[in-house]
Amino acid sequence: MSDPGSAVSPEAAPAGGPAAQASVPPRRRLTDGADLPVLPDCCNLGTMARVLLPLNLGVLLLGWLLPAAGAGHWPMFETALRVDAVAAATLLLLCPLRRAVSGAPRSTQWAVGLGVPAALAAAVALASAAPPQPGVLALVAWLMPRVLLAAAVAWLLIEYLRLRQLSLQPSQAEGRLQALQARIRPHFLFNSLNTVLGLMRSDPRKAERTLENLADLFRVFMKDSRELVPLDDEVLLCKEYLTIEKLRLAERLAVRWELDGMPGDALLPSLLLQPLIENAVHHGIEPSQEPGEIRVAIARSGDRVRVEIANPLPGAPPSRPGNHMALSNVRERLDLTFDVEGQLDTHADNGQFRVIVQFPYRKERRRRDARRSFDPDRR
C-alpha cells in the first residue's frame, strides 16, 4: 500500500540558501531504490482495522484460555479497554509522525514505532491502576512487563504490515505493466499520427502542438506509475489527451469540465483518470455518428475526493464489447494505493454510463509553481 509520505518529489526545495540546500542530502523515491518506510500508514482505515481487530481477538482468546487453564479471574473487559486505548492513541500519534520520520534512519523510525506504544502503555497503566507497592523500584518492576509487551506487540504488527506491503510489490509491478500496455494502444498512436499528417500542410502550428501533446502523453506513459502525482497534473494529462482526440473526432466530441471544487494538490496514482476518460471516448463517442458529451466532475467532499466521468451510451450494442481491463486495472491500483479507502463504482442509467472514483484527500508536498499549466494554444 503506497502512501504520499513514502515518496519525496525531486522538486521539493529545502528551506534556506544554497549552503543549506547543499548540506541536506536529498531523499530518494521508493522507485529510485529507497527503502520502504518502517512505520505503516496509520491514517488508513485498512491499517487501523488490521491493528485493532487482531488485538481484540487476542484479548478474547486470552479471556477464554486463562480460565480454561485454571487461572484466576482475569478482567477481560478492563484489559480490552486499556488495549484499545493504547492502540487507538498510538495510531493517532503515528499518523502525523510517520510523515515526519519518513526518510530518517531506520533506527529512528523503529524508535518512534516502538517507543510511542510503550510510552502510551505506561501512561494508560498509571492512569487506570496503581502499583501494588510504593517505591521507584516497585513502580519500574510493575511497569516494565507492560512496556515490553506493548513494544513487542508493536514490533509484531509493524513487521506483519511491512511484510504485507512487500508481498504487494509484485502486484504493483504487474499493475504498472498492465497500465503501460493498455495505454500504448496502437490505434490511438496511429490515429494521432494520421491526424498530424493531415495537419502538416493545412495548419503546421496545430500539427506541432499536437506532436507536443503526444510527446507529453508518452512521457507520462513511460514513467513509473507507482509514483503519486498531484490531481491537477493528472487533469492536465487528460486535457492533452482529449485535445488530440478532439482533432480527430471534431464536432462529435464535446467535453464539459466541472472543476470548481477540485483540490488540485490531492495525490493519486499516475495514469488513474486518463484510461477512464479514454474508455469514455472509445466506448461512448466513437461508436456513434451523433455528437456526444463527456462530463468530468471533480470535487472534494470532506476528507475525500470524488471524481465522476460520464459518457453517453451507444444506441446499439458495440460490435466488440470491452473487456473492462481499464476498469479492473484502475480498481486494483486504487486498492493497492489506498486500501479500503479507495473506491470505483459504475452506473448505467438514463442513457449515460458513469464511473465514480473516490479516494482520501492527501496533499502533495512539493511546490505548486514547479508544475506545468495547460495551454491548448501554446507556441
| pLDDT at res. 300 | 94
- Tell me what pLDDT residue 171 has: 55
Cα 347 → chain centroid: 23
Q: From CA 180, how far away is CA 190, in angstroms rounded?
A: 17
Half-sphere exposure of 73 (CA within 13 A, CB side): 3
Is it the case that residue 63 has pLDDT exceeding 80?
A: no
Nearest alpha-carbon partner for 114 in 49, 138, 122: 122
pLDDT at position 224 over 60: no
Residue with cell 449515460: 352
Q: Each residue of 346-361: b (16+ CB within 10 Å) or e?
A: eeeeeeebbbebbbbb
C-alpha cell at 366: 512539493
pLDDT at 181 over 50: no
Count of alpha carbons within 13 Å of 74, Cβ hemisphere only?
A: 16
- The tens digit of pLDDT for each residue in 78-134 reads 888 888 889 999 999 998 888 888 878 888 889 999 999 999 988 988 887 777 777
Q: Quote the CA–CA distance of 258 and 245 in Å, as a whole number.
A: 19
- Supply the mean pLDDT for the chain: 77
What is the predicted pLDDT for the residue at 192? 73
Rounded-to-integer distance, Cα 333 and Cα 2, Å: 10
Under the banding of pLDDT at 50, 70 and 90, the label for residue 258 is very high
Rounded mean pLDDT, 146-168: 86
371 vs 163 pLDDT, higher one: 163
Name the one residue in this structure whose C-alpha cell is 496514482: 269
pLDDT of 221 higher than 90: no
pLDDT at 22: 41
Q: Is the pLDDT of residue 24 over 50?
A: no
pLDDT band at 184 (very low <50, low <70, confident <90, very high): very low
User: What does the pLDDT look like over 265-305, one tens digit per residue?
Assistant: 999 988 889 889 988 988 889 888 889 999 999 999 889 99
Sequence-distant contacts of 189-195: CB under 8 A, at least 24 apart = 191/248, 192/244, 192/248, 195/244, 195/247, 195/248
Give dist(CA 333, CA 26) in Å, integer.
Answer: 28
Cβ(336)–Cβ(251) below 8 Å? no
Grid coordinates given for 270: 499516475
